[in-house]
Amino acid sequence: MADGTKNPARFLRDVGREMKRVTWPNRRELTKYTIVVIITIIFFVIFFAAVDSGLSELVRLLLG
């Protein structure tokens, strides 16, 4: 759509063409990526829980 026209049919055709060029991960790669995402999420949950707990304790100490 760099030429400025807004043709939905052409857009969908172009999307279809681009989707054929995509290299999809195989099952093994997908499993690895999924594990990395889950580990990252667990890390951030633990990190933010620790920060929240620390800040809560700090506020308790300062106010009471």
How many angstroms separate the CA atoms of 17 and 47, rounded?
A: 42
C-alpha–C-alpha distance, residues 54 and 60, integer Å: 10
User: What pTM does this model have?
Assistant: 0.65
What per-residue confidence (pLDDT) applies to 33? 97
Residue 47, pLDDT > 50, answer yes
Q: Which CA distances in Å does 46 have to 7, 24, 40, 55, 59? A: 48, 32, 10, 14, 20
Give the residue-averaged pLDDT of 49-54.
98
